[in-house]
Structure 1
Amino acid sequence: MFDYETLKLAWWVLIGVLLIGFALTDGFDLGAAALMPFVGRDDDERRVVINTIAPHWDGNQVWFITAGGALFAAWPMVYATAFSGFYWAMLLVLFALFVRPVGFDYRSKLPNSRWRSSWDWALCLGAVVPSLVFGVAFGNLFLGLPFQFDNDLRLAFAGSFWHLLSPFALLCGLVSLSMLCLHGGTWLMMRTEQAMAQRARRAAQWSLLVYLVAFIATGAWLVLGNLQGLVVASAFDPGAVLNPLAKVVALNNHGWLDNYGRYPLSKLAPGLALLGAALSFAAVTARCSGWAFLGSSLVIVGTLCTAGFALFPFVLPSSLDPASSLTVWDAVSSQKTLGIMLVVASIFVPLILCYTLWGYFKMWGRLTAGHIKANDHGLY
């Protein structure tokens, strides 16, 4: 079996993979739902949008649930601290996600236009809110959360929900929202035809423009602003048992850029995001929907890796007491727990990927308003 240090690093990678898997799969249906009122001009067209994502959305959220379960088991202190710091934000996301299954099932139960329009906007809002909050949460990781541990490792949190809504965090939320709308727009380009595909194309173009401006502005804020990142300033044993307070943390990592100088290969992450954006732009312009979707997927992978590499080894930085910040090395479960979970994950994560791909394969194809009318009782 792997040594403790290797297991800690492996679980940092695996949780990152699960979050990326969630963003790639659930990201396009969140983005498509957010764009639905604008891409679909009438009831039949909006039902087209719904039917491109409704067969997949619940399967896509398995990645989210798996990532949450892995976080609970592999990083219990991170799980407890994050759910304390992001408590109201988590509830907001949860209530927004509640709207989705109800909206998909009840939206077409009545032929009343006001009833259906209300559910359309509810589904849109239920997609916009999580997409925005996820980015806000990542933005707050760069700013640090106001928590600290006492000598008995009891947690004290000094912030509030409104504390999370700083300008920098909201800018990161805009990065997330526009990125997922781009992904949703390229998805709808692949799954719809004619006028709807053209409107999805325009939505993807605007989303890409907003993403590029917000992504570059976020990087400029980190580089040019007075935002200091953290660095572990004391010697420590990465394979030792957990004790978050057994380290010295200093505020001398300007803009969270140290890792990009220490590990030159990490610079590939922002480069991948910009390469994906360029590919998306070229493919959307040329109406090559498959390549556009690949480009938006690269944007997501590059963006999340950019954040993860910049923060490493920190998982949950503290602005109140930097020494209380949780890292990959000191916020994990026991070696035996990580080892058992790694075996389980190596079996079930590929299974999740296989049945997800099988579901897409069996339900693939472009949908049209005519197809919706011809199958009025068989579709959402």
Structure 2
Amino acid sequence: MFDLLDYASLKFIWWILVGVLLMGFAITDGMDMGVGALLPFVARTDTERRIAINTVGPHWDGNQVWFITAGGAIFAAWPAVYAAAFSGFYMAMLLVLFALFFRPVGFDYRSKIEDRRWRSAWDWGLFVGGAVPALIFGVAFGNLLQGVPFHLDDMLRAHYQGSLLGALLPLLNPFALLAGAISLGMLTVHGGLWLHLRADDPVAGRARTVVTRLAPAVALLFAAAGVWLWFGVDGYRVVSAPEHGALSDPLAKQVARAAHAWFDIYAATPAAMLAPALGLLGPIAAAALSAARRPGLGFLANALGMVGIIASAGLSMFPFILPSSIDPRSSLTIWDAASSQLTLTVMFVAVAIFLPIVLGYTIWCYANMWGRVTAEGIEAGSHSAY
């Protein structure tokens, strides 16, 4: 009944689906985080800040579901990756979680009291809730590309090198911080484009200035990361492994580290070059379109650039999900870290049914809550607006 696809195909499909969920999270909730990161800088008065907040107020909690769904999908599709990654990145995950706490309370409580200090404190809380997760997500990807210090024992239990309390500082290495800057920059640009599209002046004008200056820097940082990856970071390459449809056993393969290995897929499949091309051209096009006062097209261009940046990381690492820097054989790939065929099949059926419903409802929400947020509208709805 459930033998819709073979096991190897399901493993590959779920690699694509998890990537789509991460892209959906970056495009939707990343927009909210970008607005939060810009809030203290592009909106100077209380009314201006309420304008900025109300551009994302009706959508931020729905957008955050993409993040929760992506985490749940990783748990269900790759339980070994979920267990190992959430253990190794425990302190980083806690930092993200604590920063995200500021978002719901900030949105809900910020305008409850008409006190300048109260509202200013929550404005900076929304800044932390937007900027810190955006930075840490990029730092996590930067560490994945370098390898994570863990190994698997004979019982397939993950063991990490180093202490729990000291686990955060090694993650903040130079390459990872560069990746974090790319993540923070691209989400901030995305939030700026949203403000340019939805907010009234002068907030929209200041956001436009940020986009035109920051978006080219994102493209430059992305190019710099590619050069650094080529010259300074060894990649991983599977030397031998069981068939892709075999039962999951991470220790049944042989892995070697080699210079330029993260670029193998671009030589084997030239069409994969479309991803880094989008990552470079998307932010540049977004800056040009924003400067030309076409924020809608700029928003779309930047979204494509974000897809290109995220896809570049995923394609470069393929088929690896969680490489090990101290025991390459313990590295987890899409072929040897997956759940059972039945689990992947049931999940695939659920996605096929519910994803179109979720997308349809999301589009309906945006369509029915569309419009530019103005100072007049904020003042007229003082008891209902954020």
Task: Note closer, same or farther for the CA distance 1:124–1:359 as it changes in structure 2 (3 Å cut).
Answer: same
Amino acid of the structure 2 residue aligned with 1:334? S
* Structure 1 residue ranges (4+ consecutive) displaced by more than 6 angstroms after TM superposition: none
Could you list the runs of 5+ residues in structure 2 that have no partner in the other structure? none
Q: Percent identity?
A: 56
For residue 260 of structure 2, what is the aligned residue in structure 1?
254
Question: SS of 1:240's equivalent?
Answer: coil
For residue 193 of structure 1, what is the aligned residue in structure 2?
200
- The question of 1:103 aligning with 2:110 is answered no
For residue 210 of structure 2, what is the aligned residue in structure 1?
203
Matches within 5 A, 1:1-380: 1-159=4-162, 160-225=167-232, 227-254=233-260, 256-380=262-386
> Distance in 2 between the 1:337 and 1:56 partners?
31
TM-score normalized by structure 1?
A: 0.98
Q: How many residue pairs end up in the alignment?
A: 379
Could you list the runs of 5+ residues in structure 1 that have no partner in the other structure? none
Question: SS of 1:193's equivalent?
Answer: coil
Amino acid of the structure 1 residue aligned with 2:206? R
Amino acid of the structure 1 residue aligned with 2:45? D
- The alpha-carbon deviation at position 314 of structure 1 amounts to 0.1
> Distance in 2 between the 1:216 and 1:274 partners?
7
> Distance in 2 between the 1:290 and 1:155 partners?
46
Q: Is the 8 Å Cα contact of residues 231 and 260 (structure 2) preserved in structure 1?
A: no
TM-score normalized by structure 2?
A: 0.96
- The alpha-carbon deviation at position 255 of structure 1 amounts to 5.6
Q: Is the 8 Å Cα contact of residues 236 and 261 (structure 2) preserved in structure 1?
A: no
Farther-moved stretch of structure 1 (279-288 vs 202-211):
202-211
- The alpha-carbon deviation at position 206 of structure 1 amounts to 2.4
> Distance in 1 between the 2:241 and 2:150 partners?
23
Deviations 1:282-309 (A, max 9, x none): 2011011111101110111000000000
Question: SS of 1:156's equivalent?
Answer: strand
- The alpha-carbon deviation at position 348 of structure 1 amounts to 1.3
Amino acid of the structure 1 residue aligned with 2:260? H
